[in-house]
Amino acid sequence: MKSHAKSRFGWKELVGHLSLAVGVVGLLVLWDPFHLLAKIPAPPGAAAGRFGSAEAAATAYGLILLALGVGGLLLVRPAWLQNLWRRAFRFSQETWAELRKVQWPTWSEVWTFTVVVLIAITAVAVYIGFWDGAFTWIFSKVIHLY
């Protein structure tokens, strides 16, 4: 027997999620955070190709994917995107209201906490530096014995 319950994800949501994924892939190709494109060797004797270099090709393909992702989102307008600006505006209003309730420290408290943090950082740096120097000296003596 068929169920007449409405599915949580309709075709608009599916296309919206796929468009978002394509757009994210486009951004990653444009950004290339791990410099993967520089690690791909060109085949021997290969011409520069249509784009002239791997970076230009990655930029072109990244822009195409990004445009497809944004275009898909604008075309189908899934339910989770329809109220995005309204929800973002409400979130910023609520955040600002919460920030007004915060009891901010005085300048003397900020100065005191800053000095405490700097003293703690200096103490830890001296401690680590001492042990680093000690172990470096010990291991240099051991290595020179052999």
Give per-residue pLDDT as tens, 74-105.
Answer: 777 766 677 777 888 999 999 999 999 999 99
Q: Which two tokens stand for residue 69?
A: 């992702």
CA distance 130 to 133: 5
Give per-residue pLDDT as tens, 20-48.
Answer: 788 788 777 777 766 666 666 655 555 55
Flag whether the pTM goes above 0.95: no
The dihedrals phi and psi of 56, each to the nearest 5 degrees, come to -65, -40
CB 16, CB 73: distance < 8 Å: yes
Look at the block and give the residue holding tokens 């994800």.
9
Span 134-139, mean pLDDT? Answer: 94
Give per-residue pLDDT as tens, 104-129.
Answer: 999 999 999 999 999 999 999 999 99
pLDDT at res. 18: 81
Sign of CA dihedral 28, 30, 31, 33: positive
